[in-house]
Amino acid sequence: MSWYTNYQKKRNTITLGLLGLGVMLSFSCESSSAEKKGNLTTSEFDVPSFFQKEIVLLNTTKPKIKKTVLKDSIFETKELVIADWNKELTSFLAVDLNKAAYRGTFQKDSTGNTVVYTFTDSTVDLSSLKIVYVDNIPTEFSIKKSTQNLLYNTSENLEYIKGKSYTIDKLQSVYMLGAQHYRITGILE
């Protein structure tokens, strides 16, 4: 019977040891995720959040716009009400300075009411982002993006002026298919 008592003691010791190890790992994971969350407090301007709020506002107010679409040398202009601003401004929503891929790839310069992010790493798709503030409220965005690889080259210029206009200007050159250029301009009335 003494062998059984020794067995129980060893089993209890191993169980307590494993439980203690599990608790220590749990705390170490929590502190690690807390450190990661702490990094988010020093994040850059949240561009997607800004445009999500703009989309809600534009979907609610339903402004009439004068929209011009240019493809290569052919253009068309219409006055209309955009049914889905989320789809219309999707290129702006895709810009997120807080993506892990962008960490350490840009320089930030603030002058007066303007903040300019210049990207120094050619492997990321953003080249520059300029935000102009009026009374500490972001009102103008100018974004330059480019992607280059063996199959295609793309350059995209995005401009947004709060409550006034937006422009999406894109030039894409696909290997063996040639180049295409399009520009969408919307002026809010």
Per-residue pLDDT of the chain (189 residues; tens, 9 = 90+): 444 444 445 444 444 443 444 434 444 444 333 333 333 345 899 999 999 999 999 999 999 999 999 999 899 999 999 999 999 999 999 999 999 999 999 999 999 999 999 999 988 999 999 999 999 999 999 999 998 888 999 999 999 999 999 999 999 999 888 999 999 999 998
- Whether residue 63 contacts residue 189, with contact meaning beta carbons closer than 8 Å, is answered with yes
Q: Which residues contact 119 (CB under 8 A, 6 or more apart)?
A: 102, 105, 106, 126, 127, 128
Q: What is the pTM of this model?
A: 0.76
